[in-house]
Amino acid sequence: MQQPTLSHQTILHADMDAFYASVEARDNPELHDKPLIVGGNATQRGVVAAANYIARTYGIHSAMPTKTALKLCPHVMLLPPRIKHYAEISQHIRAIFARFTPLIEPLSLDEAFLNISGSLKLFGSAEHIGRSIQQAIKKELNLPVSIGIAPNKFIAKIASDIDKPHGFVCIAAEEVQSFLDPLPIERIWGVGRVTTQRFAKANLHTMGAVRCLTKEAATSLLGKHGGHFWKLAHGIDERPVVPEHKAKSISHETTFSVDIKDREILSAWLLDLTEQVMRRVRQKKFKGRTIHLKLRFDNFTTITRSHTLKHSTDVTQVVWQAVQQMFEKHLPPQQSIRLVGMGMDGFGHVSEKQAELFEAPELKKQRTVDHIVDHIQTRFGSNILKRGSSHKK
């Protein structure tokens, strides 16, 4: 049997525990022991962005419609999200990470991978670094975080999740197999309901069972992704930690707790994601050319489609038109959707501040709109101002 090798990196995954809810509970100590959710309004088809651990005991989880959450626990405290506030705290958290390594790959406001391989000589053991980060976040921000440390991203992410909240799990290279083997295969990224059934049919319930297959058997039993699952079951994940300033693409995606069929609602979500992505593109003074659309259907098949624009742009409206067209073209009628995402790459380094000589007046107007929206969102938070149709979601 082929014996894959493991690379010896030390990767730390830090995941804030119920981040938005924890921030709200910290800022309002009287809510400390009450069920609490942060999310959109129940009457406007809002969803739960975060639920504290007390709320979770009622069966509430994030991405659930707020309406459902209120049904499960009528006395739950519902607070509107304060994204700007969370973003500021997130900056502070990143500053704490940066004390230990420059190789930080933030996944969102509350989650990041750190490559601490090069920091061990300077700061001591991986465990020491992890504990220091956890303590600093507790002491300086009074917020809980779970930390997973492992030889790669895949295992580090599982490790941070396995003992939440306040988790601290450190997996050494030689412990990888004994850690992974007993885990249910749902732990493998990308394994959804359909694939789980496929595994179950083949009588594969744990990572260990997948590991014991040959690579060829995994491929023939589990289809084209079999080789990928087999690698993960062996604890192999070669993706590097990519610091944000080197990121080659900017993207956002969102998973729904219930599959959505209503095209208008999906379109509203996509517009929201497009606005977020374009705002980041402009913040980085990038202009991109290639736009990506990602759709995951209710049967867990995922499609990604790309479109390359004639010119690089940072104008939301231009990108949104392209996204809309791709969405209309690639979404079959009556198809339920589990996840939507959009992203942009193909960046050049033309400053967004450089004025154009021959700009069409319409584009000039759109650019001014973006400029004003960015300014307002930076000052008052991203929920204060949105394009008309993204309200429908």
**Site residues for another protein per CB under 8 A:** 285, 289, 310-312, 349-351, 353-358
Q: 312 or 336, CB closer to another protein?
A: 312
User: Phi and psi of 306, rounded to 5°?
Assistant: -125, 155
CB of residue 347 to another protein, shortest distance in Å:
11
Quick one: which of 342, 320, 337, 322 has its CA closest to 266?
337
Strands of 176-314, DSSP E: 249-260, 288-297, 302-313
Establish whether 111 is a catalytic residue.
yes
Q: 276 or 313, CB closer to another protein?
A: 313
- Pairing label, strands 288-297, 111-115: unpaired
User: Phi and psi of 289, rounded to 5°?
Assistant: -120, -30
CB of residue 300 to another protein, shortest distance in Å:
37
Q: 82 or 285, CB closer to another protein?
A: 285
Tokens at residue 360, please? 């069409």
Quick one: which of 333, 313, 335 has its CA closest to 323?
313
Cβ atoms 76, 35 nearer than 8 A = yes
CB atoms within 10 A of CB 349: 9
Give the SS3 label for residue 159: helix
Collect all residues with Cβ–Cβ distance below 8 Å to 258 and sequence separation of at least 6: 64, 65
Q: 332 or 358, CB closer to another protein?
A: 358
- Name the DSSP class of 175: G
CB of residue 32 to another protein, shortest distance in Å:
40
Give the SS3 label for residue 323: helix
Q: 1 or 357, CB closer to another protein?
A: 357
Q: 209 or 309, CB closer to another protein?
A: 309
CB of residue 217 to another protein, shortest distance in Å:
44
Tokens 């607070």, located at residue:
79
Query: Which phi-psi region, left, alpha or beta, contains residue 36 (left: φ > 0; alpha: ψ -120 to 50)?
Result: beta
Q: 203 or 354, CB closer to another protein?
A: 354
HSE (side-chain half, CA atoms, 13 Å) at 29: 1
Catalytic residue (one of 24, 88, 105, 111): 111
Collect all residues with Cβ–Cβ distance below 8 Å to 347 and sequence separation of at least 6: 248, 281, 284, 286, 287, 288, 289, 312
CB of residue 27 to another protein, shortest distance in Å:
31
CB of residue 278 to another protein, shortest distance in Å:
17
CB atoms within 10 A of CB 376: 13
Tokens 């609490």, located at residue:
36
CB of residue 135 to another protein, shortest distance in Å:
30
Cβ atoms 52, 18 nearer than 8 A = yes
Which residues are part of the catalytic machinery? 111
